[in-house]
Structures are given as C-alpha cells and as structure tokens.
Amino acid sequence: MTRVAMFDLDGTLVDSPRAIVEAFGVAFETMGADPRDPADIRATIGLPLEQAFAKLLGMPQDDPRVAEGVARYQEAFRTVILPRARSLVFPGVPEGLDALRRAGVVLTVATSKFHTSADALLAAAGLRDLFTVLIGADDVTYPKPHPESGLRILEQLDARPEHAVMVGDTTHDLRMAEAAGIASVAVTYGVHQRPELESARPTYVAETFPEVVAHIIGTLPYSSPAENSSDSHSSAGNTLVEDMLNDRTHHIEFNGHLTNHVKHAVVALAGLGIAPERIKAYHDNYVTLTPYGCPVEPARAPQQTVDDDNWLQLIGKRQDFAALCEFFDRRERELGMPEMLRRYLPRLLSGWVGALQHATIHLGWALDAGNRWMAIEGIAYLAFAHVDCHPERTVVTDAYGPERPKDSLLRIARFWDDNRPQLAAWVQNLVDDTTADTHPELLRSGLQHRIDRMLGEGHPRIYETPTWVNDQDTDASWDQLGYLVTLLYLAEPGDFLLLHLMTALHAMRHIADALPEEQRPEAVKCYWTGILGVLFSRGHFSLPGKLTALDSLFDTAMDDVSDPRWAREWDWLVARAAEEEEEHNPKLVYVMRAMWHRTGGRSIYRVAAGQFTATPELPATFEQPPVD
C-alpha cells in the first residue's frame, strides 16, 4: 500500500498569495490595463491562469488579451516571486515534509500553476527534491476543482483514494479531493477563511503546518506486510523507527536526574538518513550502557491518578512521571493533539529550561517527528521537570533603542565584560546558598542547581525585555535567535550548555507552531528569558569582542547550496555523527543542517555542525546516591 499526501502549492506550502497579487498587478500595468482590486485577484488564486485572467478582464478565455495577460504574469513571476521563494516557505514546511517522508508517506503536489512554473517555484524554495509527483494545470484536461489532478497522482503511484489525503488552502483543493474520494485537510493560514473552507466539507481543519503533519501521520492507514511486498524494506524501516519512538519500557531519567536522550538521537539519526537497522543498534547500545557508564532504567508504575483538578500540584515536583503520562495520554485521546497542546502548553512554557532543556527537546522533537507517544512523554516531562524562568517579571523596554536579538545579546555581553568580577562573585554566592527551596536531586546535579538558583533569584538584566520580543514576527525572531545561539556556540565550541540552547531552539520553534498565533510571542519571551538565565548561571559570559569578530565573519557568509562540495561536506558530517556515542553530536548535525537549508545555506550552521562536544564528567556530587 502506498500512502500519499497531495499538497497545493500557493498558500499551502509557500506564502505566495501576496507576491501573486503583486505579479498580477505588474501584468496589468505592462498590458496597459486598469489595476484590479487586490481582493478580487486573491479570489482567483487556485484557478488556472487563463480562468483567472478571463474572470478579472471580463473576457472569454480564448480572447488574445487573456493570453497576453498570462504571458505578462509569467514574466512577472520570474522577476517578482522566484527570487523571494525561500523566504516565502511557511514555518515548519521543510521539517514537516521531512517527517512525512520518514514516516513513509509519498509526497506529491497538485497545483493550478503550470507545471514549469510550479517546478521552478519548488526548486527556488528548496523543496523540489522532496516530491515524487507534480501535477500542474497543464498536465490535465480539467484542473481543480475537477478530480482529475488527484486521480492522475493516484494512477501514477498505483495508490488507492482511501490511502491518500489532499492538503490545501482553498475550496478548489477541497472539492477536488471530495470528488476524487480523497480525505482532505484545510489550512486556515492561506487564501480562504475558515468559514469558506468549512463550506467545502474538509475532513480536518489545521491552523499550522505541523498540525497538518501530525494529523496525516496519525490518520493515514498503515499497510500490513502482505499488502506491501514491493516496498517491504522501506515499510519495515519506518516501522522500526516508530517502534523505538513508541517504546514505553524505560523511564525518562536514569541515575537520578540524567535524561534518557535515546529518542532524541533516534529522531536525529532518522532525519539524517541513517539506515533504521543502524539506528536500532545505536538505540540498543545506549539503553544497555549510556555514555555516562550506566544503563537507562525501567519504566516506573504510576503512583496516583492525575486529573485536571490536581495536575498543577505536580509541576516541577519531579514526582510520578508515569502518572503525568497517563493524564496527558488520556486528555489527548479526548481532545486531540492540537487542542491538548493549546490547552496545557501555555502554563508549561515558562519551565522550558528544566532538565537542561531536555523536556523541551523531547516534546519539540516529537512534534518534529510527528510521533504521538513521544509527544505525550515530552509534555509530561515538561511538567515533571519544570524550572520556571518567571516571564511575569519581564518589563518591556526601549531604553536601548531599536535592537535585534544579536544587538541585545552583545549589549549584555558588554555589561558582563564591564562588571565581570562582581557578577562572577554574585553568581557563585548564589550557587553556594543551598538553603533555598531547591529539589535535592538538583543539588546533586550541579548544572541544574545553578540554573534553578539563577532563575529563582533572577537579575534585572534578564528581565529587561527588548521590544523585538513582542513586536517582531515570531518566525523572524526564531531565525535571528538561531543565529545568535550558534554564534555563542562558536565562541565556546563544544560547550555542553550552549549546544543545548541550539537543539532546544529547534524544539521551541515546533512547540510555538503548535500554539495559536497570538500566543507565539510568549514562547519567544520565555526562550529569551530562559537563555539569559542559563548564560548568567555559568558565572561567566562570552567576550563581546570575540562575538563581534565571529559575527563579522558569518553575518553575510552564504554557501551556494547547489555546489556539490557542500553536499559532500554534509555527507562527511553525517557520517561522523552516526559514529558518535555522544548522542548530542548527531542532534547538533541534524539541527544545523536543518537551519542551513532553512536559511538558504548560511555558512555559520555548516561550520558549527563540525564542532562536536564530549560527554561531560559527572561532578563529585554523583558519588552520593540519587534522591528520587
């Protein structure tokens, strides 16, 4: 059985409607025609170009002026849309498409664009290689909403309608799917609004692309071995990876507070294209003997029943992880994953730094991989290990003028440089105070104790929140924050805590995408406040001169993603990562490669990917037995 996901292009994968309106405007201007209302142009998106121009010009499709309009538009498309293609890709699309492919779903495109235009746009956006079949308006006799586009895809892949789903942002997409007997997912972030989409009776309505991915992976039927003998190796591999992510036989921590990272490594290695059999061998070696020299521990039985009346009492108490899993498992079955996350995440975001950010990584990477059970574990771990960064203490200030994240970081680095002895002594006194209300297991930890004490006490500079946190587009903030934490890592390559900030940012981005749009700035604020707490807790700060020098090297440095030498270098990095016992290194390569692709080949991510870390030595406090 072949499982197929069909995607519309404009307004579903790529945020091109605004650029399309602009291209139509250029076409009308060069034709000498009167401009059209942008709303009228947007209403034609999803129709073939001939139909759109005929409707907007009020002429038959065979009128020469319609053909002229199409030609003028295609020229504008090359000059207006294609150069901006990478920046127009919707959040979560590259990562989500990768997750679907890893889950064994065949990706296809059914678009009202001409085939060559759609092919060029996907290539310019860096997505073309992900799709097996592309059907454009000129590939069929009857374009959408006629079912021919969907049926042609099914025919080419020898697939059945019940094993396919169509994702689109217009009623044309949804009606095509319905006519072809295919399930459909309507996305609300494109051209048509939710009421209009619901009038076309979609199977499901999604607000974000990660939600689309989770729905597809959770609902498209899997085949049995007898049904799919021609692709049994691929199916077995996908099942092997899913089985590792669905495993419930091990506790989330071992030897006290050390996080069981093995599922993070599975996601990273699968995302890097490592063979499932090698991933399974890695998994089995890790659970037998972790890099810390001890095995992971068996799962523990729940000790109580957790419900909506008492779950808040367990936040940050490091008690009864299994009961928290049972609670969120039950609530997800009742509410569905999107609603469960929207309901409980806002209360948990402030504790994202807990367990050295591994709870956040567990949840965010589960959403990246589209695995339900791992996501249940992740949100339960977020509650279990919650360490509050206290975003309620923040005060927005414009005292330092307009800033970007990098500017804000350099300002704080200069503040540390100017006051280094006093700040270092203050941090050490804070850490040496063991009378505060800190969980005993965190005292045994060392690093987690430092972070817990710093965030509990705080510092005024941590809570001076620059205006970009609330005012800037969150997607731009994540991109800029990704650059600055990578800059920090290159200033101190191999630093264990700084590496976590990069892999946690990848997770926070996925978590934020699961929230309603108006709540996403809160995720950015929590991340910014939390990383400052982590950086302050170390008792030192990267030197501003070094950060500035590195920024001058990498700020505008770009790799040509089509140059084969960079593909070879990534192959070498992936090969190195696959041999590493320290699981943070494949995670590093996975995240840096995703950022490199996302930014069109920004060199800093390729360079940082090669800066592997080593498993840290456990502090002397580990000579004491675990507390929990």
Tens of pLDDT, residue by residue over 439-483, are 888 888 889 999 999 999 999 999 999 999 999 989 889 999 999
Distance between CA atoms of residues 75 and 80, nearest Å:
9
Would you state the pLDDT for residue 620?
Answer: 80
Min mean pLDDT across 15-19, 311-315, 400-404, 582-586 is at 15-19
Asked whether the bond before 616 is cis by omega within 30 degrees of 0, the reply is: no
Predicted confidence (pLDDT) per residue in 287-307, tens digit: 999 998 889 999 999 999 999
Close Cβ partners of 34 (under 8 Å, ≥ 6 residues apart): 28
The set of catalytic residues is 8, 10
**Residue 324: both structure tokens together:** 């928290």
Residue 46 vs residue 590, higher pLDDT? 590
pLDDT of amino acid 610: 96
Strand arrangement, sheet containing 105-110:
133-135, 105-110, 3-7, 164-168, 183-187, 204-206
The Cα–Cα gap between 323 and 597 comes to 39
What's the pTM value of the predicted model, to 2 decimals? 0.67
Q: Is the pLDDT of residue 233 over 60?
A: no
At residue 1, the pLDDT reads: 58
Report the share of the chain in percent with pLDDT over 70: 96
> Cα separation of 158 and 171, whole Å?
26
Q: Residue 487 above 90 pLDDT?
A: yes
Q: Is the pLDDT of residue 320 over 90?
A: yes
Q: The tokens of 216 are what? A: 């597809």
pLDDT-derived band of residue 489, with 50, 70 and 90 as boundaries? Answer: very high
Do 200 and 186 touch, CB atoms closer than 8 A?
yes
Strand partners, 512: none
Residue-wise pLDDT tens digits, 34-83: 888 888 887 887 677 788 899 888 889 888 889 998 888 888 878 877 88
Q: DSSP character for 159?
A: -
Q: Which of 38 and 385 is assigned the larger pLDDT?
A: 385
Closest to 522 (Cα-Cα) out of 347, 368, 321: 347
Condensed to tens digits (0 to 9), the pLDDT of residues 403-443 reads 999 999 999 999 999 999 999 999 999 999 877 778 888 88
SS3 category, 252: coil
* Residue range 167-193: mean pLDDT, rounded: 92
Mean pLDDT, range 7-20, rounded to an integer: 87
